[in-house]
Amino acid sequence: MEIRTTGFGHPDAQQLAADVQQEYVRRYGDGDQTAIHADHFDPPAGLFVIGYQDDGRPVACGGWRAKERDADGLRDGDAELKRMYVVPEARGRGHARAVLRHLEASAVAAGRTRLVLETGTLQPEAIALYVSEGYAEIGKFGYYKDHEQSVCMGKELAGAREL
């Protein structure tokens, strides 16, 4: 799989984002209501990537956007993972892990010191991936912070410098 920086406004990104929203509808009964705009992922304050298989088909995506200190416990230097997704027929091949590691490296290069994310209890495979990559539960933040199915996780980024 080739990982390309595309931006969130790219047509392939928009299609994969629509697909992940349908995944949320299947699992939770509704799409993610968190406000997201394409410019949230514009460097240097963010990044959005797509993984393409050899035939050129987009099969995975994810991004991060800069976050700063807030009342929910986010810190200056945080970056929030968003829209991590792999199409069903490409799952189990390490694509999500490859995208995650790419995003971590790019966040470090951009001076971010910690990655944070919000997922849910009905996504056990996502939680297992994050735990296996060193993420641990943190205080809840974001749109779903008061939702019982919300799970928030974070990971200090090795090699990151304090902002």
* Termini Cα distance of the chain: 33
Quote the pTM value: 0.94
Are 103 and 50 in contact, with CB atoms under 8 Å apart?
no
- Please state which CATH class domain 2-156 belongs to: alpha beta
Residue 117 and residue 106: Cα distance in Å, rounded? Answer: 16
Tokens encoding 145: 């912070």
The pLDDT tens digits along the chain (163 residues) read 999 999 999 999 999 999 999 999 999 999 999 999 999 999 999 999 999 999 999 999 999 999 999 988 999 999 999 999 999 999 999 999 999 999 999 999 999 999 999 999 999 999 999 999 999 999 999 999 999 999 999 999 987 554 4
Buried b (16+ CB within 10 A) or exposed e, 103-132: bbebbbebebbbbbbbbbeebeebbebbee
Q: Compute φ and ψ for 145, nearest 5 degrees.
A: -60, -25
Residue 163 has a pLDDT of 41
Residue 110 CA neighbour count, 13 Å, CB half? 23
Tell me the C-alpha distance between 156 and 154, whole Å.
Answer: 7
